Amino acid sequence: MKTHLCLTGLIGFWVLFVGHSFGKPTMTSFCNPLNLNYRFQLDEPSRREAADPVIVLFKDQYYLFASKSGGYWISDDLVNWRPIKPVGLPLEDYAPAVIEIKNKLYFTAFNTGAVFTSDNPAEGSWYKAAEIPQYPDPALFLDDDGRLYMYSGCSNNGPIDVQELNAETFETIGQSIECFRPDFLQRGWEVFGDDNLGGAMGSEVIYAPWVEGPWMTKHNGIYYLQYAAPGTQWKAYADGVFTSNSPTGPFQYAEYNPFSYKPSGFIAGAGHSCTFKDKQGHYWHIATMVISVNHVFERRLGLFPVGFTPEVQMFTNTYLADLPQQIPGAVDRPEQDNLRGWMLLSYHCPVKASSTIEEFPTQNAVDEEIRTWWSAQTGDAGEWLMIDLEENCAVNALQINFADQNTRIFDNSLKLCHQYLISASDDGNEWREIVDKRNNHQDVPHDYVELDRTENARFIRIENVSTPAAGKFALSGLRIFGKANGAAPAPVTQLLAQRDAHDPRQVKISWTPASDGIGYVVRYGTAPDRLFHHFQVFDHHEIKINSLNSAVPYYFTIDVWNKSGLTKGTAISTF
């Protein structure tokens, strides 16, 4: 069995490397979840995890912090990242909070009870600056007038609070103020569970949300206090927002909530996030995405553009956000449209493999669900999976999502890597290599590869060279992007929205299916020109949505896509 750990010692604990093919092209796109080498946690069960992220732009470089990740990352462009394993920071805590004050970064976390600082985080040296109380899910905000505030909260159906701090000593000033509480009886998206219909917590089914992850953004004089609900393990994990003219309130609930929402697609979730500006002044949202199969805290990170309407509505562009996206800085208005333009080619295509474990069948590699996976019977070199696209297509990019089948890692001083080869064929017999990672020495659990040239092919095959840590060769998604010959589907022209008379948080949407469509996108919002929420739908032409706000009118439309393109909906239904 050829499996190994790519041992390079303590310095190689994790790295993000953007995928590459022959020629190592300049990347024009990225794909969620981000291809970070997510750290294996130190306790049972063995699983990777990163969540509760913060990105700060400091001295013209981006720093990414996430819960229990053993360090942090640094980047010049939000696409290519390298790791820093610091000294002087508590690395085994949840919910980091990071802020710049007077040319220094300051760090705290959930159970830390202290603030740490560095004027050179690229070097990785930190020291303790102050003792403070423990704040659950802390978030630091420095206002334009130099006053510092700590927002916090992490409890079932509990509040988000704010406490003013001295910006030099971090001592408390005055009393803590309760900013707001949830109201899940009126706000469907706050209801616990994957589908906002309740979910298990231990042996009990509960409906009240877990409220956590505050973040403050000030834009054009308005304070946007963000928070996460209904729970980090659910696909419905999202961020809502309250607004105020003051950092301490009073705060007004935004009826368009949630403002960051991705309840469907290959990977779901867009909660407990950080909103920040890039070097061009565009807002972005780095968010927690959900797997929660091997462990409730098995999570990943996603990056989405953020915008504000003239009506001061805050919104996050999660539209088809696990398809290839334009890299930051590539377009002027990423919050309006950030798609690279390549369609998903691999959904439900015929698949063959060298071997299969019965409970992890081949179709799991093309079902657009990160919570399921295909597994070969071994991790030996030569295990393979082949996808038949059923027609010759222009292939531009691939996302290789490895599943950690039978992988047991509790020692993060070791460096992991996947090594593989991807080939293309027109007939399934004659093959040409298009991605060569046989000599890869990086940990790439969600490797995204943008080809340096368009590859016309019908068949795509991935062959294992080496799987780390005695695991089996397994894929939760071999996702292929590009365009097929032919036309985009005809638009959906008939749809019906039926709101539940007894529970106005719920609505049933149905539509006439498009004969040439593969998937649908149900878009909706509180105005015809602000349809910022969406659900992706496969294999059905109806959906029940349980995440509405009571007494708020909504508008709906249906987009449809196939391998050749995307057609936006023109018919809008309202009630």
- Is there a domain that residue 458 lies in? yes
| Kind and range of the H or E run holding 114 | strand 114-118
- Is there a domain that residue 384 lies in? yes
Q: Are residues 313 and 389 in the same domain?
A: no
- Is there a domain that residue 308 lies in? yes
Question: For residue 432, is pLDDT > 50?
Answer: yes
Is the N-terminal amide bond of 553 cis, ω within 30° of 0?
A: no
- Is there a domain that residue 219 lies in? yes
Write down which residue in 459, 484, 509 finishes a domain.
484
Q: Are residues 315 and 383 in the same domain?
A: no
Write down which residue in 326, 356, 380 finishes a domain.
326
Angle at CA 214, nearest 5°, toward 210 and 219? 140
Q: How far apart are CA 516 and CA 219, in angstroms?
A: 43
CATH of the domain at 530: 2.60.40.10
Cross-strand bridge partners of residue 242: 225, 253
Q: Tell me, letter by letter, the H, E, C secondary structure of 238-307.
A: EEEEEEECCCCCCCEECCCCCCECCCCCCCEEEEEEEEEECCCCCEEEEEEEECCCCCCCCEEEEEEEEE
Q: What is the pLDDT of residue 415?
A: 79
- Is there a domain that residue 334 lies in? no
Which phi and psi (to 5°) does residue 188 adopt? Answer: -60, -35
Question: For residue 293, is pLDDT > 90?
Answer: yes
Q: Are residues 442 and 527 in the same domain?
A: no
Q: What's the domain range around 398?
A: 343-484
Cross-strand bridge partners of residue 303: 286
Q: Are residues 442 and 502 in the same domain?
A: no
Q: Are residues 71 and 117 in the same domain?
A: yes
How many domains does the chain divide into?
3
Reading the block at residue 171, the tokens are: 């001592």
Quickly tell me which residue has 């009393």 as its tokens: 175
Q: Are residues 92 and 129 in the same domain?
A: yes
CATH of the domain at 471: 2.60.120.260
- Is there a domain that residue 36 lies in? no
CATH of the domain at 191: 2.115.10.20
Question: For residue 569, is pLDDT > 80?
Answer: yes
Are 376 and 472 spatial neighbours (Cβ–Cβ below 8 Å)?
A: yes
Q: What is the pLDDT of residue 2?
A: 46
Express each pLDDT in 463-518 by its tens digit: 999 999 889 999 999 999 999 999 999 999 999 999 999 999 999 999 999 989 99
Q: Are residues 118 and 191 in the same domain?
A: yes
Q: Are residues 67 and 164 in the same domain?
A: yes
Given CA atoms 102, 104, 105, 108 in this order, what sign does their dihedral have? Answer: negative
Question: For residue 414, is pLDDT > 80?
Answer: no
Write down which residue in 449, 465, 484 finishes a domain.
484
- Is there a domain that residue 335 lies in? no
Question: For residue 407, is pLDDT > 50?
Answer: yes
Q: How far apart are CA 39 and CA 16, in angstroms?
A: 11
Q: Are residues 319 and 442 in the same domain?
A: no
Q: Are residues 104 and 247 in the same domain?
A: yes
Question: For residue 17, is pLDDT > 80?
Answer: no
**Whole-prediction pTM:** 0.95
- Is there a domain that residue 386 lies in? yes
Q: Are residues 171 and 132 in the same domain?
A: yes
Q: Are residues 163 and 283 in the same domain?
A: yes
Q: What is the pLDDT of residue 6?
A: 60
Eight-state DSSP code of residue 366: G
Are 31 and 53 spatial neighbours (Cβ–Cβ below 8 Å)?
A: no
Mean of pLDDT over the chain: 94
Q: What is the pLDDT of residue 18?
A: 40
